[in-house]
Amino acid sequence: AQTVTQSQPEMSVQEAETVTLSCTYDTSESDYYLFWYKQPPSRQMILVIRQEAYKQQNATENRFSVNFQKAAKSFSLKISDSQLGDAAMYFCAYIGPGNTPLVFGKGTRLSVIA
Amino acid sequence: KAGVTQTPRYLIKTRGQQVTLSCSPISGHRSVSWYQQTPGQGLQFLFEYFSETQRNKGNFPGRFSGRQFSNSRSEMNVSTLELGDSALYLCASSSFERGGTDTQYFGPGTRLTVL
Closest chain B C-alpha to A32 CA, distance in angstroms = 7
Give which of A3, A46, A48, A102 to mutate to test B binding, by max B Cβ within 10 Å: A102
pLDDT in tens, A31-76: 899 999 999 987 899 999 999 998 889 999 999 999 999 999 999 9
Which residues of chain A does B45 touch, with a Cβ-Cβ cutoff of 8 Å? 101-103
User: How many interface pairs between A and B have CB atoms less than 8 angstroms apart?
Assistant: 55
**Which residues of B have a CB under 8 Å from any CB of A?**
3, 33, 35, 42-43, 45, 48, 50, 55-56, 58, 90, 92, 98-101, 103-109
**A47:B103 CB<8 A:** yes
Percent helix / strand / coil, chain B, rounded to 5 = 5, 50, 45
The pLDDT of residue A28 is above 80:
yes
**B101:A37 CB<8 A:** no
Which residues of chain B does A95 touch, with a Cβ-Cβ cutoff of 8 Å? 100-101
**A101:B58 CB<8 A:** yes
Q: Are A7 and A107 in contact (CB under 8 A)?
A: no
Three-class secondary structure of residue B58 per DSSP? coil
Instruction: Please provide the DSSP assignment of B88-107 as one string.
Output: EEEEEEE--TT-SSS--EE-
Q: Give the span between the Cα atoms of B115 and B94, in whole angstroms.
A: 33
pLDDT digits (tens), chain B, 115 positions = 789 999 999 999 999 999 999 999 999 999 999 999 999 899 999 999 998 999 999 999 999 999 999 999 999 999 999 999 999 999 999 886 554 457 899 999 999 999 9
pLDDT in tens, B44-62: 999 999 989 999 999 999 9
